[in-house]
Structure 1
């Protein structure tokens, strides 16, 4: 678990559980093909770490975290209580420096501020969002705050013609109208992607789905089926491998992004029928969809580090990394998976809270070292409970 550091980086100029074929563990080495190290702000579920960028914050901007004893041994997730109830398909969640969180409601398009004591304040709706119908997906999805600027929020959302990334002001505690950052991300009933995450260079990582047009995932010019890396104004980020916005490709539907403590980028990916995946993302790599699901022996394709088979055992959505463990929210698996990480390798997933809380959508590392996990029981797939949807606090 990291801490939130307020510093401005250059911007505007980041079950039955059928488990797992897993790759063996590898040495923990720095790989030049990994994404730049994470920004401590704006991460939707990753382990934040102190910045090593070239920009030096002024002394008044630095926040020195209070040292605390580090837990030892493998984490053992335990439910510590309910943070909030009666939410409408909570999807994105990002923490602010003071410990409150901003939450997006997928269907209502509302941004809600939630305190650690569970007080909810609606800041407003993001205009232009078209919610899904039936058991469709889309709507208001991922969130990321601009590094060093908690009054600027980046949002991923669905319109009548595309998926897009927008920037909204939270000045005065109200949601302003979104200003377009990136448009024309292909859309469909399903497979929207939607996760946002800033890296340590102030570039925004954007996960997109294949929009049910699987061939687009292999087209490096298309915005679909990718992890994109863009400047905060939407232009391609410097250092991208193909001189466009594509960072990695061959993805079916990525809904989880997180950095580990060494700055390596990990992603969860929905498979079709054969295998869901946990991938270590490297610059310019091809992750195989639709040519393969799971592992293969084909040249030029990058294998996942962990898989779940069949896909009905998991459906991995949100991703948090803490204590060298990837915590994965499982929708069909209806649990939280813990996957031990050892450098660039991953071990066998283990399920927690199986069936206890219904569909688990998101997992986010909180400033106090816990996880906040969200349920997704009001999305039309199952019958919700009386207080659904919820945010739960889990100690690790």
Structure 2
């Protein structure tokens, strides 16, 4: 088994390395490699040395590029399909129904119907939030959903769009503010322009206005990002984000208010001088191309596209332990990962996105129990 470089900046852990390979920013094709260790892979657990094996099972199959998963209070999930613009409701039993088709979505390249989030006040307002690529921009809309999808209302518009690097993840934080992950659409300088919405993590109110306490008086929370597609908070309220690298390093970042994460001046753990925030950990681009991110059972879980595996990253006090690769090459490209109300993880495959090798039942939603 080959071993790859995995750099943990905060934990200062380095494993044996090999060279990186080019990536197109959304996972590319192929990507072989090791699991960051030799020998037997430990069982699923917040500690890589304890727990019981988690056997994934298919919850839903035959989907078309399922991009994001958000759970309703009753335990069913809303799943977006990037290219069809369908919003699909998936029950833990496997029952699948179409919640609606989102109007105005214009899929192109990595764009389409992307993120979904459920209002923290859903029991009273019945609101959901969607991120999608429209004719002239990427945008965030909100709509009622009570079994039927209401008419979407735009709340954030003017996010740059392009064939690649559209970001797209939505998540409500512990502060009940909406966080929006965007990409720089291949135009690197947008990431350093604090007046642009591209290459940023945005923080807004439920109505889309700049959230109170934002560092620059606008919607921008952090900047200097290439293409963020994963957001997750740990049990202490710390925010983490996945980041697609270009030719060398993919990243997980610990997100701090007002931080500049370096792109395009630096990539990964390069020394770019003062003012840039270094990543929590990095992978070579063939090992990861990380999209979705979740926190559960004491670990971060990052879904890898080109890497075709689920990375488990144990956390302690905001510092990363040794990453462990799960399900390497078992399911192909993995796009979304979310913690379900029962404590399991739900994963989506992304083998029908034009860069994978789909099986007859792809794309799928998988349930992974944690023990």
Q: Normalised by the shorter chain, which TM-score bucket?
A: 0.7 to 0.9
The equivalent of 2:32 in structure 1 is: none
1:77 to 1:366, Cα distance in 2 relative to 1, 3 A: farther
Gaps of 5+ in 2: 13-44
The equivalent of 1:234 in structure 2 is: 208
The equivalent of 2:223 in structure 1 is: 249
The equivalent of 2:75 in structure 1 is: 99
Name the SS for the 2:240 alignment partner.
strand
The equivalent of 2:36 in structure 1 is: none
How many residue pairs were aligned?
333
Mapped to 2, the partners of 1:250 and 1:380 lie a distance apart of 28
The 4+ residue runs of structure 1 with deviation greater than 6 A are none
**Residue 133 of structure 2 is aligned with which of 148, 158, 163?**
158
Gaps of 5+ in 1: 1-14, 27-70
Q: Deviations over 1:165-211 (max 9, x none)?
A: 0011113x111221110101001100000011112332110000011
The equivalent of 1:168 in structure 2 is: 143
> CA shift at 1:384, angstroms?
0.9
The equivalent of 2:280 in structure 1 is: 305
Q: Deviations over 1:73-120 (max 9, x none)?
A: 446662231111001100110011111111011111111111101100
Q: Deviations over 1:340-364 (max 9, x none)?
A: 1111211222111111100011111
Contact 1:361 1:374 in 2 (8 A): yes
Mapped to 2, the partners of 1:314 and 1:76 lie a distance apart of 25
Mapped to 2, the partners of 1:17 and 1:130 lie a distance apart of 41
The equivalent of 2:177 in structure 1 is: 203
The equivalent of 1:370 in structure 2 is: 344
The equivalent of 2:7 in structure 1 is: 21
Contact 2:46 2:299 in 1 (8 A): no
Name the SS for the 1:341 alignment partner.
strand
Contact 1:250 1:288 in 2 (8 A): yes
**Residue 331 of structure 2 is aligned with which of 357, 361, 374?**
357
Mapped to 2, the partners of 1:245 and 1:358 lie a distance apart of 36
The equivalent of 1:31 in structure 2 is: none
1:241 to 1:353, Cα distance in 2 relative to 1, 3 A: same
Contact 1:19 1:348 in 2 (8 A): no
Name the SS for the 1:235 alignment partner.
coil
> CA shift at 1:247, angstroms?
0.3
Name the SS for the 1:389 alignment partner.
coil
**Residue 90 of structure 1 is aligned with which of 56, 66, 70?**
66
Normalising by structure 2, we get a TM-score of 0.87
The equivalent of 2:118 in structure 1 is: 145
User: Is residue 297 of structure 2 the alignment partner of residue 335 of structure 1?
Assistant: no
